Structure 1
Amino acid sequence: MALDQLSLVFGALADPTRRAILARLAGGDATVAELSGPFAMSQPAISKHLKVLENAGLISRSRRATARLSHLEARPMRDATDWLASYRQFWEASHERLDELLAELQNSNGEPDARDRDHR
């Protein structure tokens, strides 16, 4: 996924209304009228949110008879999740170093470290 596309995805996900729209679409396709129901905003305002989601690739839109349906496109969210997961190893290593430091500090204060307490 190109960085620009990733920026569009994160920008779209930054808004709670758009996240709520995506959650609703996870249950199936919906029209603008159906999506605007739970929100205290106009259908044109919802349409603007849908345009942002569409530009980010998070939804696609199609026509069925006279209705224009929005459909969840999950792939960009998976790409964003994969990008975030690449930092998981960094955070896990940071947490391990923190655990080791805390154990050292506890030992220097005369307190048994967690490993010693667990074996009692």
Structure 2
Amino acid sequence: MLEGKLDKAAQDHDATKDLLAAEQKVNADHQYQIEMLQKKIGGFSKNQNTLVEKNRFKAGNYLGDLNDRAEELKNVKNKLIDQDEEMKSLSLTREKFRIERDFATEKLKDTENQLKALQAKYQQ
């Protein structure tokens, strides 16, 4: 009877030992999976940081380009405003010359009429 209990205890001990070995294997597999996932996460995080830096650099360049374009547009706008002012000034000068020409033409006609009148009077 005692031998039966010892055999039973030995069998239970062996079964527990096998179960413990199986659990240790499962735990080791889980530990390996956790380590692999941590490596993947670390690699992903490193890639994300690299992408963030690249995007930050690209964004900085893009903003610099935008600022340059805005400055160019501002300069072109100012140049157009200056040219518009110059065109207004030239238009006023042209109008002044037109008025002076019309006045001189009218004065010339009056002088021609006076000359014709004097010539007609002289010929009589």
Q: Larger Cα Rg: Structure 1 or Structure 2?
A: 2
* More strand, by proportion: 1
Higher relative contact order (Cα pairs below 8 Å, separated by 6+ residues):
1
TM-score by length of 2: 0.28
TM-score by length of 1: 0.29
